[in-house]
Amino acid sequence: MDGMVMEEEDDCPELVPIDTPPGPPAEQIPVTIITGYLGAGKTTLLNYILTEQHKKRIAVILNEFGEGSALEKSLAVSQAGELYEEWLELRNGCLCCSVKDNGLKAIENLMEKKGKFDYILLETTGLADPGIVTVIDAKYGLQQLTEEKADGLVNEAARQIAVADLTIINKTDLVNEEELAQIREAVRSVNGLVKILESQRSRVDLSEVLDLHSFDSKDGANLAEKLQLVKDTRPHLDKSILTVTFEVAGDLSEDALNVFIQDLLWEKMFKNKEGQPMTVIRSKGIVSFAGKAHQVMLQGVHELYDLNETPQLWEENPRINRLVFIGRNLDKNILQEQFISTVLEQAERK
Ligand SMILES: Nc1nc2c(ncn2[C@@H]2O[C@H](COP(=O)(O)OP(=O)(O)OP(=O)(O)O)[C@@H](O)[C@H]2O)c(=O)[nH]1
Ligand SMILES: [Zn+2]
Ligand 1: nearest atom to the Cα of 135: 19
Q: 168 CA to middle of ligand 1, Å?
A: 13
Q: Is 43 in the pocket of ligand 1 (CB under 6 A)?
A: yes
The sign of the dihedral angle between the CA atoms of 135, 140, 145, 149 is negative
3-class SS string, 17-40? CCCCCCCCCCCCCCEEEEEECCCC
Average pLDDT (227-242) is: 67
Q: 49 CA to middle of ligand 1, Å?
A: 14
CA proximity to 208, closest of 160, 173, 163, 165: 165
Segment 257-288, tens digit of pLDDT:
999 999 999 999 999 998 999 989 888 889 99
State the pLDDT at residue 304.
79
Within the chain, where are the H helices? 42-51, 70-80, 103-114, 141-146, 156-163, 177-190, 206-210, 220-229, 254-265, 332-342
Find which of 71-85, 102-116, 138-152 is predicted with most confidence, using mean pLDDT: 138-152
Long-range contacts of 259-265 (CB under 8 A, 24+ apart): 259/342, 260/338, 260/339, 260/342, 260/343, 261/298, 261/300, 261/305, 264/325, 264/335, 265/300, 265/302, 265/303, 265/305
- Quickly list DSSP for 286-318: EE-BTT-SEEEEEEEETTEEEEEEEEEEP-SSS
Segment 16-56, tens digit of pLDDT:
555 555 544 455 667 777 888 877 888 788 878 877 877 77
Q: Is 144 in the pocket of ligand 1 (CB under 6 A)?
A: no
Q: Are 331 and 273 in contact (CB under 8 A)?
A: yes
Give this complex's ipTM.
0.96
CA–CA separation, 129 and 106 (whole Å): 15
Q: 171 CA to middle of ligand 2, Å?
A: 15
Q: Is the full-model pTM beyond 0.95?
A: no
Q: Is 67 in the pocket of ligand 1 (CB under 6 A)?
A: yes
308 has which bridge partners?
297
Residue 154 to residues 40, 160, 184, 235, Cα–Cα distance (Å): 19, 10, 20, 13
Segment 182-227, tens digit of pLDDT:
999 999 988 988 899 999 999 999 888 876 665 555 556 666 777 7
Minimal-distance CA residue to ligand 1 atom 16: 43
Higher pLDDT, 204 or 7: 204
Average pLDDT (79-100) is: 53
94 has which bridge partners?
58
Q: Is 179 in the pocket of ligand 1 (CB under 6 A)?
A: no
CA–CA separation, 1 and 33 (whole Å): 14
| Chain mean pLDDT for the chain | 75
Asked whether the predicted pLDDT for residue 111 surpasses 90, the reply is no
Asked whether the predicted pLDDT for residue 339 surpasses 90, the reply is yes
33 has which bridge partners?
122, 132
Ligand 1: nearest atom to the Cα of 40: 19
Q: Is 46 in the pocket of ligand 1 (CB under 6 A)?
A: no
Least-confidence region, from 68-72, 229-233, 240-244, 322-326? 68-72
